[in-house]
Structure 1
């Protein structure tokens, strides 16, 4: 009730500590700058029909006035909720009816495993480093240049056919050579062993999950006549009508002029 008053009239009511009451607990109180006459008229228009005799005071420092305001606010909330519920019932109930359907699921596993191993080994052993004077063990590298020039001259004579013929001559020749050379001598090889190994493994796994749901449904309406009797329906219809805030408030203590017939009491709002 207090929260409803604060939400509905935030410019009229507030929560605070009353220094004159001697309590440190927050209490419902009026704001300092409130025009009480106009505020009372607003509160009475909104909540007067929910309080017996109407709202005649908003002085919340008076326990009776505060209790009357809180009770009227609670009645207002209850009536609004009852009206909403009655309206929903008047609209009937809608439901979803499943006619048929299908649910399918599929799981596929795909495993691919492979193992590959490559093995390679080699070994070498050469006993070349024998010396002292046992041979081999030579690592010699070298290079150089050579140049040669030579000239030759001479005479020659001879005969053939048993001296019947003779021949004579001379010769003269020159030659020249020049070049570069490089040489290497390498055994001296100690024992050597080489081993190599290579292995490759691979594993691949895959899983697929697929599902499908097909549902056919329709909406169905459940009328109010199947849930309530005619008397109950009439009561629900009355509760679903909004409250007329402009209806005059019944005050039983109000004096009537002489000769004036008594006013009829309006039906109570539940």
Structure 2
């Protein structure tokens, strides 16, 4: 028998090589990108702006601005009144009390050494003597200023300076300072008050959204067909098919810009006014203050040398 050419192998359909799941349900693969897609910026702009407004808390900002300004003004007024009341209380005390609370022995020593540097010096503390002491510059001195303290003719010594001169000097320095404060108190309190003012608060929101989408479409011949046709495994007598390839490019962008600006401004105009002593203290306290004025100081407090001429005593108030 003549030899026959072998029969060509049977053509196998393309669907036999695909998985059954892919043929049955191709929809989920196309649905996944739709689930992960972000919503447009123009749709989420209102929600993001509302969240920003809640985060800013503009009413709380205004409340803190007003309360802080009010508290600062009230605190300043309270401190002024407390300082003046403390000053009046110190001046209304006796000379002995004022000196004991405000003049230290070391301050009186410094004052005496600076007033008479040629006769009086200060001995620094040592292991035997832990506190400084007044000491004469030389032995056998009897300066004339001792007469101002009732010690005329006595010889200057450490015991005389520490035990008899120092207490009188300390009392005289305290009386001088109390007189100065009493003169200041009788002038009244120079109070700083708010005449008028304004508080401004505002918030500005800026929100912009932009969505941009670009789609590119291209179609052309399959480059794989030009090298070898799809019917290569079959008969070569059939003409090859013409396959076209389409390309789709999508570029989607969304952009959202949010901005919030808070502004707070406080303007206060101050005015100075004087409150007299009789409006801040009662008659008894005012009488105690006037008792310590220069020229009306008690005679128990010695005057500092050189003694200033005293003014005549004012007539007692009815």
Measured against the shorter chain, the TM-score band is: 0.3 to 0.5
Q: Which has the larger radius of gyration?
A: 1
The TM-score with structure 2 as length reference comes to 0.42
More strand as a share of residues: 1
Relative contact order: is structure 1 or structure 2 higher (C-alpha 8 Å, sep ≥ 6)? 1
Higher helix share: 2
TM-score normalised by length of structure 1: 0.47
